[in-house]
Amino acid sequence: MSADDSAGSNLVSVDFEIFGHVQGVCFRMYTEKEGLRLGLVGWVKNTYKGTVVGQVQGPADMVEEMKVWLSKEGSPTSRITRASFTNQRSIDKLELSGFKTRF
C-alpha cells in the first residue's frame, strides 16, 4: 500500500455474508489469509444459520479483488452458492486494524 493509499484516498468499507457450504471448511482462516495478502483489514465469523459474515476495509481496488475472491473462490473445499455485499461506503481512514476471526 503506497503512502497515497493510506492517506485516506479511495478507502472503502463493505460488509459481507457468504452462503453455501462455508463452515467446517477453513473458510474463515483462508479469508483472513487472503485479506492480509491483499493488505486489507477486517473480520470474519461463522453465524448460527450456517453462513459466514464479516467486514473488509482498505483501498477500493483491493476490496473489489477480495469481493471476487469471497464470491468465487473461498477456501479449497468450500462451495459458495451466493455472496451478499452490503453497506459499501467510502471511509476517510481505516476503522479496524489487522484481520481477525471473531467468535
Catalytic residue among 10, 28, 87, 89: 28
Q: Judge whether 37 counts as a catalytic residue.
A: no
| Number of residues in the chain | 103
- 77, 61 contact by CB (below 8 A): no
Catalytic residue among 46, 87, 89, 102: 46
Q: Judge whether 46 counts as a catalytic residue.
A: yes
- 84, 15 contact by CB (below 8 A): no
The count of C-alpha atoms lying within 13 angstroms of the C-alpha of 87, restricted to the half-sphere facing its C-beta, is 11
Catalytic residues: 28, 46
